Amino acid sequence: MFGGFEVFGLLLIVLAVAALWSTVKIVPQGYNYTVENFGRYTRTLTPGLHILVPIIERIGHHVNVKEQVIDIPSQDVITLDNAMVRVDGVAFFQVLNAAKSAYEVENLEHATINLTMTNIRTVMGSMALDELLSNRDKINSQLLHVVDAATESWGVKVTRIEIKDIAPPRDLIDSMARQMKAEREKRAQILESEGLRQAAILKAEGAKAAVVLEAEGRREAAFKDAEARERAAEAGSHRHDAGVERHRQRQRAGHQLLRRQQLREGPRSPRQCSQFENHHDAARGVVGDRLARRLGPDHRRSLRQCAASGKAPARRQRPAGVGARLSRPSSGAA
Amino acid sequence: MIALWTLGSTGEASAMTALVDLIANLGPWSWVIAGLILMSLETLVPGVHFLWFGLSAVVVGIVAFLAAALGLDEAFSLPWQLVLFAVISVMTVFWVRGLSRTEQAETDEPALNVRGAQYIGRIVVVEDAISGGRGKVRVGDTLWPAQGSDTAKGALVKIIGTNGTVFVVEPAV
């Protein structure tokens, strides 16, 4: 049964199997396979089914074209102000050109990590510790700038480089904590004393207001009291004045009665006549003849009666003295 | 090789002879059975190793049946069957490749894993002025090198192509 032909047949199957196994390649999604033609790169296989030329072509590298993350290991970096910090990071990259990344650089990951580490030292060595801790963004973008430029020739795009952890030495952390605590305490004390000051001011203002109000109250009370007294006095004085007025009226009435009687009877004595004369002179002295005329018909009748009855005294010239000066209206300055 | 087989332990030799007898008794069915076994292995095992062999085994089995029906039993002896099996395996590969090629064009994400192609057509802001033909543009949250005519920082440009890791841009209006 196993003659030459059968063996040939079997071996043909073996060859077919071997050939198919080595030439038919399934490239999974996310990978690119490089094809080498007797060791020389010819083409890149994208995901899918591919058949290679059997003996001549071989698969060279399996290149991962998905975005990858690599850890940048911790290292000690000395900052500009001589603080020693422990830094680690993470880098994201993606291979865009499979052939370049496979053949232009030996061990891509190793190269990228080392490149990033040296650049971290460079970037951080030129910044002070405070600046470092607050400007992570700036550090990240600076690192990206440099590392991306370097990996460009390897067909690799670095998309992000992030510093994960910046750990200053323990005692530095303690003193930073103390600084923060002191700052907070200072603020607390300021607020407390501010509060006390406000309280004292308000209290004093309250006291002042109280005293002022009290004084105002007393003033009002005094005003009211004075007013009350005034009213009372007025009311009393009104009665007094009324009485006085009545008295005067009666008196006048009595005088008028007496006067009429006198006029009817005529002047009784020369002294009365001289009085009439004096009155007349005085009146004339003050405002002149007009008033004399205004003295009234009664007075003029009395004068005529005096003159007629012969009881008028001799007209004597009064000296222009004080009396005349007083009788004259003060024209101008006195 | 035959000597090796026969010189194996008696257990093995008896198992081999029993298998050979079984295959001989089954006749053309053995090919079809082998084909089916191979194809089920194919579906179970990750990767494509047995598909062609399975298909070609089934085809050879069918041809053997036809030969038996047509009375060409003697002409279509084992070696010829084996040869046919080998040849058809290779042809099956090309046939399956041809099939998968047409499907290769239709995919939900044509630019999958081709980072540069995914950004074509986007309008982005120039971060480092493009001078002397090279500069940087901000795409999403990263900076990409850009190549194109001189543009000032802050201008809008449109990505029209890629050149490795560099975007080819033109001013967007």
- B61-107 residue pLDDT tens: 888 888 888 877 777 777 788 888 888 988 888 888 887 776 656 67
pLDDT at A17 over 70: yes
Query: Mean pLDDT over residues A178-202, rounded?
Result: 96
| CB within 8 Å: A48 and B78 | no
Question: How far is B6 from A231, CA to CA, in rounded Å?
Answer: 156
Q: Does the distance separating the beta carbons of B113 and A47 come in below 8 Å?
A: yes
Residue B27: is its pLDDT beyond 70? Answer: yes
Any idea which residue has 């007294």 for tokens? A229
CA distance A304 to A135: 129
Q: What is the pLDDT of residue A332?
A: 46
Q: Is A100 on the interface with B (CB under 8 A)?
A: yes
Lowest mean pLDDT among A121-130, A282-291, B8-17, B94-103: A282-291
Percentage above 70 pLDDT, chain A: 87
Alpha-carbon distance of A116 to A164, in angstroms, equals 13
Answer yes or no: are the C-beta atoms of B98 and B139 closer than 8 Å: no
Is the Cβ of A7 closer than 8 Å to some Cβ of chain B? yes
Give chain B positions within 8 Å (CB) of A112: none
Residues A25 and A36: their CA atoms lie apart, in Å, by: 14
- A20: closest CA of chain B, how far (Å): 7
Report the pLDDT value the prediction gives residue A315, as an integer from 0 to 100.
60
Q: Do B90 and A148 touch (CB under 8 A)?
A: no
Average pLDDT over every residue of A274-286: 69
* Cα A144 to Cα A156: distance, rounded to the nearest angstrom: 13
Angle CA A47–A50–A52, to nearest 5: 135
Tell me the chain B residues in contact with residue A18 when contact means C-beta distances shorter than 8 Å. Answer: none
Average pLDDT, chain A: 85
Q: Which residue has the tokens 């605590």?
A: A181
pTM for the whole structure: 0.60
Report pLDDT for A321. 52
Q: Does the structure show a pLDDT above 50 at A333?
A: no
Residue-level pLDDT at A55: 82
Residue A189 has pLDDT above 70, yes or no: yes
pLDDT bin (cut points 50, 70, 90) of residue B1 is very low
Please check whether residue B117 touches A, CB under 8 A: no
Sheet of A31-37, strand order = A40-45, A31-37, A57-64
